């Protein structure tokens, strides 16, 4: 039976990999939207 330290390590690794995968997916999505000119940030948008 795995020790509680090993279980905690596995949970930490799964959480870390999930966060990293989500960040990469968001980065890819934002890049795709910007390249397709669907969403492009404008520098003069100061959000009155």
User: CA dist 47 to 12, 30, 38, 39, 42, Å?
Assistant: 39, 20, 19, 16, 11
Give the CA-trace dihedral at 8, 5, 9, 12, to 10 degrees.
30
The string of pLDDT tens digits covering residues 1-48 is 678 999 999 999 999 999 999 999 999 998 998 888 887 667 665 555
Distance CA 1, CA 12 (A): 19
Total-model pTM: 0.67
Distance, first Cα to last Cα, the chain: 60
**Number of residues in the chain:** 48
């Amino acid at each position: 039976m795995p020790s509680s330290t090993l279980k905690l390590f596995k949970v930490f690794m799964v959480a870390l990999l999930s966060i990293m995968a989500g960040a990469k997916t968001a980065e890819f999505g934002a890049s795709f939207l910007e390249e397709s000119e669907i969403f492009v940030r404008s520098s003069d948008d100061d959000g009155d």
